[in-house]
Structure 1
Amino acid sequence: MTYLDRIKLELQDISFSDTELSILAQENGINNPISEYDPTSNTAKRAIYSTVLSVLEAIANNPNLMKNYKNEDISIMDFAESIQNRIAQLERKIRLLPADDVSDNIADGASWTYIFRE
């Protein structure tokens, strides 16, 4: 599975062109969106979630685009609330993903940073 396929899997019914998704992926640290996705890498997961977050923010920031996603059983207001909830969930998920370099991680997944200097 490529990075682009993984992004589409996360987005399901939201349709952006491959070119648009590739640009957003590159902006979020995926240099080659058609390369093989590594599901064991937290860095790769963070890049995928960040790209999906960018797509959802693009939809949320464009009212005309939101109208295109109006469905018979959901109003635009419901859709706007749902997308904002999903954005918040993704932001939290990205923050909680531990770094790939385990030597810099504390047991609970937080990263250790030195803030004092001599």
Structure 2
Amino acid sequence: MTNIERLNLEIKGIDLTIDELSIYLQEQNLESNIEYNPTSNTNKRNILKTALAILESIANQPQLMKSYKQDDITVSQFHENLQSRIDQLERKIREIPNDEKVYEDGASFFYMFSS
């Protein structure tokens, strides 16, 4: 499975061209035709960041923020549901651990200051 195929799994139902998806992936330092690595937390995080960027782009379209009614079905509160999904993705991205070396106690170490 390639990165673009994995992204399509994440944004199922959102129709974008291959070129548009490739640009979103490139913005997260991913190539669309490269094999997706499910064991890499960095790769997974970047796919989710790409999906988040797509959802944020949709949220910037005010013409989509209305209620729709078709036959007996009403789709309302599109914006609230979209914002809820954006919040879920942001939380999920923050919870993914880094691929860096993790120490025995489970803590990750980084240098906050350098000389």
TM-score bracket for this pair, using the shorter chain length: 0.7 to 0.9
Query: 1:114/1:104 Cα in 2 relative to 1: closer, same or farther (>3 Å)?
Result: farther
Q: Which whole-Å CA distance do the structure 2 matches of 1:102 and 1:88 have between them? A: 28
In structure 2, do the counterparts of structure 1 residues 15 and 29 end up closer, same or farther at CA, with 3 Å as the change threshold?
same
Q: Which structure 1 residue ranges, 4+ long, deviate > 4 Å from structure 2? A: 67-71
For the Cα contact (< 8 Å) 1:99–1:105, is it kept in 2?
Answer: no
2:76 aligned with 1:112: no
Q: Structure 1's 116 and 28: CA in aligned 2 closer, same or farther, altered over 3 A? A: closer
The unaligned stretches of length 5 or more in structure 1 are none
Gaps of 5+ in 2: none
Count of aligned residue pairs for this structure pair: 112
Corresponding residue for 2:12?
12
Letter in 2 for 1:114: Y
- Aligned residue number for residue 86 of structure 1: 85
Q: Alpha-carbon deviations, 1:27-57, whole Å to 9, x = none?
A: 0120x21111011110110110000000000
Structure in which a larger fraction of residues adopt helix? 1
Letter in 1 for 2:53: S
Please report the RMSD computed on the Cα atoms of aligned residues, expressed in angstroms. 2.4
Q: How does 1:1-118 map to 2 (within 5 A)?
A: 1-30=1-30, 32-64=31-63, 66=64, 70=68, 72=70, 73-75=74-76, 78-103=77-102, 107=106, 111-116=108-113
- Higher Rg of the two aligned structures: 2
Cα distance change, pair 40–117 in 1 and its aligned pair in 2 (3 A): closer
TM-score, scaled relative to structure 1? 0.82
**Percent of aligned pairs with the same amino acid:** 44
Quick check: which one's strand share is greater? 2
Say which SS state the counterpart of residue 86 (structure 2) adopts: helix
